[in-house]
Amino acid sequence: MRKVDTTIALRRERGKIVLREFEWSTADAIGAPARFALELAQPLPDRCARHGRPAVRHIDTEMRMHTGFNGSPVETSWWSSFLESWLTHDPSWGPSTVGEVSGRRPMCARCMRQRAILHGIAYCLGLAGPLAPVVLFLAAQAGVLQSVSMPLILAFFPGWLPGGLAVALTLYARGNSPVRARPLTSASAMTIRAHPAFAEALAARCR
């Protein structure tokens, strides 16, 4: 089912120190603060935001934000980090985090299964690179491998590094991100792409 824009209230995260006050423009947008820490200001319904199904578990999540090309904080992902680094020719490989939005989010049984599968694949891909030299060394010691061929070298670079590692990071982040967020334009609310059933449950809870 097609996702809809859903607004969730935010507030300053309790217990964290903000380096300086928010700077507000006439459009009520965040003016690139040094650092901000926000959290969900309202309890979410017991319904998954991605699939609209009843929640079986609530997990603590932290969405990192960086300043996007339009000047507003946007959700940080591996792809956004790579894209910005490539377009700006920044060797640091990633935009600077300007803040986080944290909170407990409902997850349905399908979300939990997908999360476990994605994390499992990510761990396997992440460990494949470090284990490969060990396997090759043991094979060489046993006389099975006489020399390292070019296909094996290409499988490690650029196959695993950065290709496989990039896929692993993307899958792991996807498992921890139940929904996608629109660019943040206010410190009091954020807009996410959610299932209509979740949007209806949230609206009913706010009445």
- pLDDT tens digits, the chain, 207 residues: what are they? 789 999 999 998 876 544 344 443 433 444 444 578 899 999 899 999 999 999 999 998 888 888 777 777 888 776 665 565 555 545 455 556 778 899 999 999 999 999 999 999 999 998 988 888 888 778 777 777 777 777 777 877 878 887 888 888 888 888 888 788 999 888 899 999 999 999 999 999 876
The count of domains in the chain is: 1
Classify residue 186 as exposed, middle or buried by CB count within 10 Å of its CB (0-12, 13-18, 19+).
middle
Instruction: Report pTM.
Output: 0.73
Contact predicate 95/67, CB 8 Å: yes
Those residues with Cβ within 8 angstroms of residue 8's Cβ, 6 or more apart along the chain or in another chain: 40, 41, 42, 44, 189, 190, 191, 192, 202
3-state secondary structure of 22: coil
Q: How far apart are the first and last CA of the chain?
A: 25
Domain of 31 in residue numbering reads as 4-206
Q: Which residues fall within 8 angstroms of residue 73, CB to CB, at 6 or more apart?
A: 30, 36, 65, 66, 67, 98, 99, 183, 184
pLDDT of residue 191: 95
Q: How large is the angle between the packed helices 109-141 and 165-176, nearest 10 degrees?
A: 160
pLDDT in tens, 21-75: 444 343 344 444 457 889 999 989 999 999 999 999 999 888 888 877 777 788 8
pLDDT at res. 33: 45
